[in-house]
Chains A and B, each alone.
Chain A
Amino acid sequence: MEDKIYRNSLNFVPVDVAKGIDRNTGKIVNADDLDPNYERMPKCMHCKNFTLNKDKIGLGICKMMGKEHLAYPDMVAITCDGYEEK
């Protein structure tokens, strides 16, 4: 199930690993709190090319352009040309 939290949302400006700014309100918010105005941020976990590794927590495989490479679900994919939303 998708975590509709700030750090997974395009409505969030990250300040550091724990907090950031809610774009709508301009307020500082906890990165792990639910975002009432959630907009999905492209991340590997949402990509067709990504397969989660069931044996190793926090890791997976990216099959972009037919080549396999280590990847991880939480990585931001805003700048990835191979990103294709599931």
Chain B
Amino acid sequence: MAKSFKEMLAESGQEFEFQSGGKAPEKLIPRENIWKAHPRIEKLKEIYMDSLSSTNNEFPYWYTREYFQHDNEIPVIRRAKALKCAFSHLTPVIYPGELMTMRKGAFFRASFPMPWLSEGFYMANESSFYQEALKRGSASVDEHSKFGQGGGNVPKSFGKVISIAGKFGMRQEEVPALLELAKMWEGKSVDDLGNKYEKMVPDYDVKEAIMRTVVCMFDSGFTLPQGREVANYYYPLEYGFEGIKKIAREMKADVAGRADGDGMVGVNRLYNYEAVIIAIEGVQKWINNYAEHAKWLAGREKDAKQKKEYLDIAERLLWIEKNPPRTFIEAFQFIETIHFAILNEDAISGLSAGRIGQVLYPWFEQDIEAGRITEDEVLELCEQDRLIKTSIDCFASIGVVGGVLSGNTFNTLSVGGVDRHGKTAVNRLEYLIVKAGGTNAMPQSNIALHYDETLPDDFLALAADVIKTGCGYPAFMNNDIAEQFMMSHYGHEGMTVEEARAWAIGGCLETSPCCWKPLHLNGKEYWIPGGAGQPTSVGVHFIAQPKILELVLTNGVDKRTGIKVFEPHNKKLKTFDELFEQFKVYWDKAVEVLALTNNIQHDVWRKNNMGVFHSFTKPDCLETGHLINELGYRYNATFNVESAGNITMVNSLAALKKLVYDDKKYSLKEMLDAMLNNFGYKTADEIGKFSLMDQEISEDVKNDYKQIHFDCLNAPKYGNDDSYADNILLDWENWFCAHSETVESLYGEPMYSCQISVSTHGAMGSATLASSDGRLQGTTFADASMSAYPGTDKKGPYALMNSATIWDHSKSQNSQLNIKIHPSAIKGAEGSKKLIELVRGYMRKGGFHVQFNIVDSKVLKDAQANPMKYRDLMVRVAGFTQYWVEIGKQVQDELIARTEYEGV
């Protein structure tokens, strides 16, 4: 009987679900710590767990209506007026039991389309949407009360609900308006305009081919033009909205009609300040509408306690509508409001709250001292914050939301690290924030713990306890490495050592430039950190390294689709160096054409869809009068070049070097033949299954590829402290990091390398043929950028870490390492110590990031078979935690297959 891939792997000495350092106990072992949130939060969480991602036309309707009223207006004013109108008309919704309120739209998990960014999807599917909307019958209670597959996703239409892009539900009543609104933006959206002008880039056809063959995942100008950055709440917290408007009016008077030496955009400052005032007025009306709604609710509420809570909410909102906050809860409500305001301005994923333990500390310290709040009440608010952030949805394209992000929105908060003097920044509030991560374990906020040698031991112990709830966070990031990166990449923009210490994680793992600002509360000054840089969601998006290697071997043609991607090199590739050089040539071409076309998309975005509200919150826009589109931010060198499939590429190169060039066991032609024939397996397309476990050997293939496959699987692999493979990684990283800095963004700044996979290892793996490391066609790459391919790291976690730290991580914005550990391996206090020692060891070697899944693989298998039993099971994918049921099967299988460490 023909062997399965799993059996072949085992025969070669490797296996899926490899257990390193011992054997897992037979019985299913749950996570060690199970904590609960406050009852109020648990009740609200029940609503969340049963709610669907929902969308409507409210924001896009009012935005569009106002926008088209102002033809010929100065673009930034036109944009601001449209934003004001949209915000002013959002219907408020407050749920019973909430202490903090406001949200993106009128549902628990609300989001909305932005046809001014991209409307092509709706137009392409116009007739099918319309037919769906017409034919829906009456609602069925049974239909709506069932969870469809994937938790809160709406993968299929049901009752009177239409599925949009397999995730969002929209009422059938709204669909005709959605299509009419989309039509109004045809030819005018960032997508359409960007596409019109990017076609003028020479070699645009190469870009088209790259996108069609999934060498690259998605465009950046219209999918996520902002995000993966750190928010800055300083200005509203210090001045309040009326205070900011006053500053803007004064600055308007100072700059009106003046160039002040800047003949290009000096006079624009007048319009920019006016736009800021208009945008703030819209947000203030939005807050006011919520306050009025809270009063209305109080008026009809019979329960005395709930009535008082509605009145308190109203009072808080009316205060922060105009003024800086006075108390901790007002400050927390205010930053939530600002966060949503920014999110509603654009398609944004990865707006990280930053170091809110530092930001909110002034009010925490003073409220606790004055007896206005208790630590338990603060913990409850931190728990609600987690619920608020997890409820955030991002309405972007299906390839982005599903294929890359797995539905996550990456609202990371950072803890730990140092203050501006280099001393530990950990404060009491941060302990509560981390604790809330365990008591209310939800995918958001991701917690990024900036590891530094000055961190208190008990803080690290608490972090270990939270990890052992199985939530997958905190992830650990190396504070020193991050500061080094800040200095080397942003030094030319004025980054100082003191300012570098303010850094925080944007998105899931984007080391982002921040700054310190002096906040004043009741006569005391506190220096708080906040984001000071442009988005990092921009630049050249994920390029599949294994796919580039494949194209080297196939002389530039994608064999899966038959499309010519690159000009044929026609080289014999007689040496490994020649092969590697050709890889770099193709890589360089891909980066060049993607950078140029994405620069144009972003340029169209910044001309018509610039951030207005978001801009004024970031230094130094308010001071200079220039918004994001005019280099108003302090740090603008934030565009990146993203790679995907790093270790699959390294392993593949190692196999070619060993088998073809060193041992000369096979010719390159034989190797390519085996790969093109998928090592004798049926293709994933053929069987309709893309997961590792499901691959089937073909009975029809004439040649016997077993031996070559065995040899490929057995070739040197990264992750075993083996210099053969690891030196290839070193060579690549040195080249890739330096090469990225030679690429220029539209802002005239150098890009840098970004090495995270998010979920691209699934989606891009499905478009890549078999690779010379023995991986089969259509299956996932190794996840992250430093994780070993499942089953191939045989020598324990320290060997893996040695492999990972062969190169200087400070040369790149990030590196990413995921480790799966069986709960029994780190049981009890001793186990927690071992976990922390593992982290310390990696950080001290120079590793940038490590995160843990503490889970028994048997639990994951059971969850795959019985998803309804595991609605709240969370796992760490690659830089983010997500509900198991909302992750696609490819990535689920890859998670199950990851090596499980039984001993540490």
Contact = CB atoms under 8 A, between A and B. Distances in A.
Nearest to B65: A69
B58 A16 contact: no
Nearest to B108: A15
A28 B50 CA distance: 10
A16 B176 contact: no
A36 interface: no
Nearest to B306: A26
B161 A15 contact: no
B61 interface: yes
B289 A30 contact: no
Nearest to B134: A57
B159 interface: yes
B169 A14 contact: no
A17 B171 contact: yes
B107 A59 contact: no
Interface size class of A (residues with CB under 8 A): 20 to 34
A59 B144 contact: no
A56 B90 CA distance: 26
B752 to A, nearest CB: 40
B768 interface: no
A74 B173 contact: yes
A16 B180 CA distance: 23
A75 B138 CA distance: 19
Interface in A38-82: 56-59, 67, 69-76, 78-80
A70 B160 CA distance: 23
Interface stretch (B91-99, B116-124, B716-724): B91-99
Nearest to A74: B173
A79 B293 CA distance: 10
Contacts of A80: 89
A53 B58 CA distance: 19
Nearest to B160: A32
B107 A15 contact: yes
Contacts of A32: 138-139, 159-160
B2 interface: no
Contact of A13 (B53, B95, B160): B95
A26 B301 CA distance: 12
Contact of B161 (A14, A17, A76, A79): A17
Interface in B59-85: 61, 65, 69
Given A13-B93, A16-B54, A31-B139, A59 B106 contact: no
Contacts of B55: 17
| Residue of B53, B175, B180, B184 ringed by the most chain A CB atoms within 10 A | B180
B107 A58 contact: no
Contact of B173 (A15, A16, A33, A58): A58
Contacts of B141: 30, 33
Nearest to B296: A10
B138 to A, nearest CB: 7
A19 interface: yes
Given A59-B180, A72-B176, A16 B160 contact: no
B161 A18 contact: yes
Nearest to A64: B65
B177 A58 contact: yes
B170 A26 contact: no
Given A76-B91, A79-B90, A17 B107 contact: yes
Given A14-B107, A18-B144, A72 B139 contact: no
30 contacts: A14-B54, A14-B106, A16-B51, A16-B52, A16-B169, A18-B144, A18-B158, A18-B161, A19-B144, A19-B145, A21-B47, A30-B139, A30-B141, A32-B160, A58-B133, A58-B174, A67-B69, A69-B65, A70-B180, A70-B184, A72-B173, A73-B173, A74-B171, A75-B57, A76-B106, A78-B91, A79-B90, A79-B92, A79-B289, A80-B89
Interface of A: 7, 13-19, 21, 23, 26, 28, 30-33, 56-59, 67, 69-76, 78-80
* The 8 nearest A-B residue pairs measured at CB: A58-B176, A32-B139, A74-B173, A18-B144, A16-B52, A72-B177, A16-B54, A17-B169
